Protein backbone atom coordinates (compact mmCIF):
# COMPACT_ATOMS: atom_id res chain seq x y z
CA UNK A 1 0.00 0.00 0.00
CA UNK A 2 1.33 3.42 -0.93
CA UNK A 3 2.18 5.60 2.04
CA UNK A 4 1.00 9.20 1.92
CA UNK A 5 0.95 11.96 4.48
CA UNK A 6 -2.17 11.86 6.64
CA UNK A 7 -4.14 15.05 5.99
CA UNK A 8 -7.64 14.35 7.26
CA UNK A 9 -9.31 13.72 10.60
CA UNK A 10 -12.89 12.55 11.20
CA UNK A 11 -14.80 13.37 14.40
CA UNK A 12 -18.29 11.81 14.70
CA UNK A 13 -20.51 13.91 17.00
CA UNK A 14 -23.96 12.78 15.85
CA UNK A 15 -24.97 10.93 19.03
CA UNK A 16 -27.75 12.01 21.35
CA UNK A 17 -25.65 12.33 24.52
CA UNK A 18 -28.13 10.28 26.53
CA UNK A 19 -25.71 9.71 29.40
CA UNK A 20 -25.57 13.46 30.05
CA UNK A 21 -29.33 14.06 29.85
CA UNK A 22 -31.01 16.48 30.59
CA UNK A 23 -28.11 18.89 29.94
CA UNK A 24 -27.82 17.51 26.40
CA UNK A 25 -31.41 18.47 25.74
CA UNK A 26 -30.19 22.06 25.39
CA UNK A 27 -26.42 21.78 24.76
CA UNK A 28 -24.64 19.19 22.63
CA UNK A 29 -22.15 17.28 24.79
CA UNK A 30 -19.36 18.19 22.35
CA UNK A 31 -20.06 21.85 23.19
CA UNK A 32 -19.79 21.38 26.95
CA UNK A 33 -17.07 23.67 28.34
CA UNK A 34 -13.68 22.65 29.64
CA UNK A 35 -10.89 24.83 31.01
CA UNK A 36 -7.54 24.29 29.31
CA UNK A 37 -4.08 24.65 30.88
CA UNK A 38 -3.99 28.31 29.79
CA UNK A 39 -7.16 28.99 31.74
CA UNK A 40 -9.26 29.43 28.61
CA UNK A 41 -12.85 28.15 28.56
CA UNK A 42 -13.54 26.27 25.35
CA UNK A 43 -16.00 23.64 24.12
CA UNK A 44 -14.81 20.03 24.07
CA UNK A 45 -14.97 19.88 20.26
CA UNK A 46 -12.45 22.71 19.97
CA UNK A 47 -9.92 20.85 22.14
CA UNK A 48 -10.35 17.78 19.90
CA UNK A 49 -9.89 19.80 16.70
CA UNK A 50 -6.77 21.43 18.13
CA UNK A 51 -5.41 17.98 18.98
CA UNK A 52 -5.80 17.01 15.32
CA UNK A 53 -4.21 20.21 14.04
CA UNK A 54 -1.27 19.69 16.42
CA UNK A 55 -0.46 16.49 14.52
CA UNK A 56 -0.29 18.24 11.15
CA UNK A 57 -3.86 17.46 10.07
CA UNK A 58 -5.04 20.08 7.58
CA UNK A 59 -8.70 19.08 7.08
CA UNK A 60 -11.22 18.02 9.73
CA UNK A 61 -14.58 16.43 8.95
CA UNK A 62 -17.19 16.59 11.72
CA UNK A 63 -20.11 14.16 11.38
CA UNK A 64 -23.31 15.68 12.82
CA UNK A 65 -27.06 15.17 12.86
CA UNK A 66 -28.83 17.33 10.25
CA UNK A 67 -30.61 19.30 12.99
CA UNK A 68 -27.26 20.17 14.55
CA UNK A 69 -25.51 21.40 11.41
CA UNK A 70 -26.38 25.04 12.05
CA UNK A 71 -25.14 24.86 15.66
CA UNK A 72 -21.69 23.60 14.69
CA UNK A 73 -21.43 25.89 11.68
CA UNK A 74 -22.30 28.88 13.84
CA UNK A 75 -19.49 28.07 16.26
CA UNK A 76 -16.88 26.95 13.75
CA UNK A 77 -17.64 29.13 10.73
CA UNK A 78 -19.22 32.39 11.90
CA UNK A 79 -17.47 35.24 13.74
CA UNK A 80 -19.11 36.71 16.85
CA UNK A 81 -21.67 39.46 16.40
CA UNK A 82 -20.04 42.86 16.19
CA UNK A 83 -21.38 44.01 19.57
CA UNK A 84 -19.85 40.96 21.27
CA UNK A 85 -16.57 41.22 19.34
CA UNK A 86 -16.17 44.85 20.43
CA UNK A 87 -16.50 43.84 24.07
CA UNK A 88 -13.80 41.19 23.89
CA UNK A 89 -10.30 41.85 25.16
CA UNK A 90 -7.59 42.31 22.50
CA UNK A 91 -6.38 38.80 23.35
CA UNK A 92 -9.85 37.32 22.80
CA UNK A 93 -10.33 39.30 19.60
CA UNK A 94 -7.11 37.73 18.35
CA UNK A 95 -8.40 34.33 19.46
CA UNK A 96 -11.61 34.96 17.53
CA UNK A 97 -9.55 35.45 14.37
CA UNK A 98 -7.72 32.21 15.17
CA UNK A 99 -11.11 30.44 15.38
CA UNK A 100 -12.10 31.78 11.96
CA UNK A 101 -8.88 30.42 10.49
CA UNK A 102 -9.52 27.09 12.20
CA UNK A 103 -13.06 27.05 10.82
CA UNK A 104 -11.72 27.25 7.27
CA UNK A 105 -10.23 23.78 7.81
CA UNK A 106 -13.57 22.26 8.93
CA UNK A 107 -16.10 20.39 6.78
CA UNK A 108 -19.50 19.53 8.26
CA UNK A 109 -20.69 16.03 7.24
CA UNK A 110 -24.18 14.66 7.85
CA UNK A 111 -25.43 11.41 9.36
CA UNK A 112 -29.06 11.45 8.27
CA UNK A 113 -30.07 8.65 10.66
CA UNK A 114 -28.43 7.78 13.98
CA UNK A 115 -27.61 4.13 13.34
CA UNK A 116 -24.48 3.70 15.43
CA UNK A 117 -20.86 4.77 15.65
CA UNK A 118 -19.76 2.59 12.73
CA UNK A 119 -22.47 4.13 10.56
CA UNK A 120 -21.35 7.63 11.58
CA UNK A 121 -17.79 6.82 10.50
CA UNK A 122 -19.11 5.46 7.19
CA UNK A 123 -20.82 8.80 6.53
CA UNK A 124 -17.33 10.29 6.07
CA UNK A 125 -16.42 7.85 3.27
CA UNK A 126 -17.01 10.17 0.31
CA UNK A 127 -15.13 13.01 2.02
CA UNK A 128 -12.16 10.87 3.07
CA UNK A 129 -12.02 9.07 -0.31
CA UNK A 130 -8.96 6.81 -0.64
CA UNK A 131 -6.76 8.35 2.07
CA UNK A 132 -5.68 7.08 5.45
CA UNK A 133 -7.29 9.23 8.14
CA UNK A 134 -7.24 10.02 11.84
CA UNK A 135 -10.46 9.02 13.64
CA UNK A 136 -11.21 10.75 16.94
CA UNK A 137 -13.97 10.30 19.49
CA UNK A 138 -16.20 13.31 20.09
CA UNK A 139 -16.13 13.04 23.88
CA UNK A 140 -12.44 12.42 24.64
CA UNK A 141 -9.68 14.97 25.09
CA UNK A 142 -5.99 14.31 25.57
CA UNK A 143 -2.89 15.53 27.39
CA UNK A 144 0.51 14.26 26.32
CA UNK A 145 3.24 13.33 28.79
CA UNK A 146 5.94 14.26 26.26
CA UNK A 147 6.64 17.11 23.85
CA UNK A 148 4.58 15.53 21.04
CA UNK A 149 0.80 15.54 21.26
CA UNK A 150 -1.00 12.22 21.57
CA UNK A 151 -2.27 12.43 17.98
CA UNK A 152 1.23 13.26 16.74
CA UNK A 153 2.58 10.15 18.44
CA UNK A 154 0.03 8.00 16.61
CA UNK A 155 0.83 9.54 13.23
CA UNK A 156 4.54 8.96 13.83
CA UNK A 157 3.90 5.23 14.35
CA UNK A 158 1.83 5.07 11.16
CA UNK A 159 4.74 6.64 9.27
CA UNK A 160 6.95 3.85 10.61
CA UNK A 161 4.69 0.84 10.02
CA UNK A 162 2.43 1.89 7.10
CA UNK A 163 -0.51 0.05 8.68
CA UNK A 164 -3.59 1.07 10.59
CA UNK A 165 -2.74 1.99 14.18
CA UNK A 166 -4.98 2.02 17.25
CA UNK A 167 -4.01 3.98 20.33
CA UNK A 168 -3.85 1.96 23.53
CA UNK A 169 -3.82 2.44 27.27
CA UNK A 170 -3.56 0.04 30.20
CA UNK A 171 -6.94 -0.67 31.80
CA UNK A 172 -7.88 -2.66 34.93
CA UNK A 173 -10.17 -5.65 34.46
CA UNK A 174 -13.12 -4.02 36.24
CA UNK A 175 -13.31 -1.30 33.53
CA UNK A 176 -13.32 -3.59 30.49
CA UNK A 177 -17.09 -3.34 30.09
CA UNK A 178 -16.70 0.28 28.91
CA UNK A 179 -13.97 -0.15 26.30
CA UNK A 180 -12.75 -1.86 23.18
CA UNK A 181 -9.96 -4.26 24.13
CA UNK A 182 -7.08 -5.68 22.06
CA UNK A 183 -4.51 -8.42 22.29
CA UNK A 184 -1.41 -9.23 20.30
CA UNK A 185 2.34 -9.64 20.36
CA UNK A 186 4.75 -6.94 21.50
CA UNK A 187 7.03 -5.55 18.80
CA UNK A 188 8.44 -3.12 21.34
CA UNK A 189 7.45 -3.89 24.93
CA UNK A 190 4.89 -1.49 26.39
CA UNK A 191 5.06 0.63 23.24
CA UNK A 192 4.13 -1.05 19.92
CA UNK A 193 1.95 -4.14 19.61
CA UNK A 194 1.19 -6.32 16.60
CA UNK A 195 -2.58 -6.59 17.10
CA UNK A 196 -4.17 -10.01 16.60
CA UNK A 197 -7.71 -9.39 17.92
CA UNK A 198 -10.00 -6.50 18.84
CA UNK A 199 -13.11 -7.07 20.96
CA UNK A 200 -15.74 -4.58 22.09
CA UNK A 201 -16.57 -4.42 25.81
CA UNK A 202 -15.52 -7.96 26.76
CA UNK A 203 -16.49 -9.71 29.97
CA UNK A 204 -13.65 -10.26 32.41
CA UNK A 205 -13.88 -14.02 31.78
CA UNK A 206 -13.55 -13.56 28.01
CA UNK A 207 -10.67 -11.15 28.41
CA UNK A 208 -8.78 -13.45 30.76
CA UNK A 209 -9.16 -16.36 28.33
CA UNK A 210 -8.57 -14.57 25.02
CA UNK A 211 -7.16 -11.06 25.48
CA UNK A 212 -4.15 -11.49 27.75
CA UNK A 213 -0.94 -9.82 26.57
CA UNK A 214 2.36 -11.35 27.62
CA UNK A 215 4.29 -9.37 30.20
CA UNK A 216 1.31 -7.46 31.60
CA UNK A 217 0.03 -7.65 35.15
CA UNK A 218 -2.62 -10.36 35.52
CA UNK A 219 -5.66 -8.10 35.90
CA UNK A 220 -4.60 -5.43 33.42
CA UNK A 221 -5.43 -5.30 29.72
CA UNK A 222 -4.84 -3.07 26.71
CA UNK A 223 -7.85 -0.98 25.72
CA UNK A 224 -8.38 1.62 23.02
CA UNK A 225 -7.33 5.11 24.08
CA UNK A 226 -9.71 6.93 21.74
CA UNK A 227 -7.58 7.69 18.66
CA UNK A 228 -7.35 5.60 15.48
CA UNK A 229 -5.25 5.94 12.34
CA UNK A 230 -7.13 3.94 9.72
CA UNK A 231 -6.69 3.02 6.08
CA UNK A 232 -9.71 3.56 3.80
CA UNK A 233 -10.22 -0.22 3.64
CA UNK A 234 -12.29 0.18 6.83
CA UNK A 235 -15.11 1.64 4.69
CA UNK A 236 -15.40 -1.63 2.74
CA UNK A 237 -16.19 -3.57 5.90
CA UNK A 238 -18.55 -0.89 7.21
CA UNK A 239 -20.38 -0.88 3.85
CA UNK A 240 -20.72 -4.65 3.97
CA UNK A 241 -22.27 -4.55 7.45
CA UNK A 242 -24.66 -1.76 6.43
CA UNK A 243 -25.69 -3.44 3.16
CA UNK A 244 -26.29 -6.74 4.98
CA UNK A 245 -27.99 -4.95 7.90
CA UNK A 246 -25.55 -6.63 10.27
CA UNK A 247 -26.08 -4.89 13.60
CA UNK A 248 -24.61 -5.43 17.05
CA UNK A 249 -26.65 -4.27 20.03
CA UNK A 250 -29.07 -2.78 17.50
CA UNK A 251 -26.52 -0.56 15.73
CA UNK A 252 -23.71 -0.66 13.19
CA UNK A 253 -20.53 -0.88 15.22
CA UNK A 254 -16.92 -0.06 14.42
CA UNK A 255 -14.91 -2.55 16.48
CA UNK A 256 -15.89 -5.71 14.59
CA UNK A 257 -14.92 -3.95 11.34
CA UNK A 258 -11.61 -2.95 12.92
CA UNK A 259 -11.01 -6.61 13.73
CA UNK A 260 -11.62 -7.55 10.08
CA UNK A 261 -9.29 -4.75 8.98
CA UNK A 262 -6.68 -6.18 11.34
CA UNK A 263 -7.04 -9.68 9.89
CA UNK A 264 -6.86 -8.51 6.27
CA UNK A 265 -4.23 -5.75 6.31
CA UNK A 266 -2.55 -6.09 9.70
CA UNK A 267 -2.71 -3.52 12.47
CA UNK A 268 -0.46 -2.11 15.15
CA UNK A 269 -1.33 -0.82 18.56
CA UNK A 270 0.57 2.01 20.22
CA UNK A 271 0.60 2.67 23.98
CA UNK A 272 0.21 6.44 24.08
CA UNK A 273 2.46 8.48 26.34
CA UNK A 274 -0.30 10.63 27.72
CA UNK A 275 -3.68 10.75 29.40
CA UNK A 276 -7.17 10.50 27.95
CA UNK A 277 -10.07 12.35 29.58
CA UNK A 278 -13.66 11.22 29.07
CA UNK A 279 -16.27 13.98 28.89
CA UNK A 280 -19.20 11.72 27.99
CA UNK A 281 -20.23 10.60 31.50
CA UNK A 282 -21.23 12.85 34.42
CA UNK A 283 -18.59 11.65 36.90
CA UNK A 284 -15.88 11.48 34.25
CA UNK A 285 -16.74 14.96 32.96
CA UNK A 286 -16.59 16.38 36.47
CA UNK A 287 -13.16 14.79 37.02
CA UNK A 288 -11.96 16.08 33.66
CA UNK A 289 -12.86 19.61 34.72
CA UNK A 290 -10.65 19.14 37.76
CA UNK A 291 -7.70 17.32 36.18
CA UNK A 292 -7.33 18.50 32.59
CA UNK A 293 -6.12 22.02 33.34
CA UNK A 294 -3.35 20.72 35.59
CA UNK A 295 -1.87 18.24 33.09
Kindly state whether residue 3 falls inside one of the protein's structural domains. no
List, in order, residues 6 or more apart from 265 with CB less than 8 Å away.
Answer: 1, 163, 164, 231, 233
Kindly state whether residue 2 falls inside one of the protein's structural domains. no
Number of domains in the chain: 1
- This model's pTM is above 0.75: yes
pLDDT at 194: 96
Structural domain harbouring 135: 8-294
pLDDT at 108: 97
What distance in Å separates the CA atoms of residue 148 and residue 151, rounded to the nearest whole number?
Answer: 8
With the CA atoms of 196, 118, 281 and 58 taken in that order, what torsion angle do they form, in degrees rounded to the nearest 10? 90
Kindly state whether residue 1 falls inside one of the protein's structural domains. no
User: What's 80's domain CATH number?
Assistant: 3.90.550.10
From residue 46, alpha-carbon distances to 37, 167, 282 in Å are 14, 21, 20
* Residue 68 CB neighbour total at 10 angstroms: 18
Per-residue pLDDT tens, the chain, 295 aa: give them.
455 689 999 999 988 889 999 999 999 999 999 999 889 999 999 999 999 999 999 999 999 999 999 999 999 988 888 899 899 999 999 999 999 999 999 999 999 998 999 999 999 999 999 999 999 999 999 999 999 999 999 999 999 999 999 999 999 998 888 888 999 999 999 899 999 999 988 999 999 999 999 999 888 999 999 899 999 999 999 999 999 988 888 888 998 999 999 999 999 999 999 999 999 999 999 999 999 988 7
Amino acid sequence: MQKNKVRKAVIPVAGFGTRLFPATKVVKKELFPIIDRDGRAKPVILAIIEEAISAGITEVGIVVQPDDKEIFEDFLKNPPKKELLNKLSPQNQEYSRYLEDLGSKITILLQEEQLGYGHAVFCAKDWVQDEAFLLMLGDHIYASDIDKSCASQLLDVYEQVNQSVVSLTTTPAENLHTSGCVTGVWQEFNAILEVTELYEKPTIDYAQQHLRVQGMVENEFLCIFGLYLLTPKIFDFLAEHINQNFRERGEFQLTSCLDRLCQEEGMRGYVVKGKCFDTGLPDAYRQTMIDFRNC
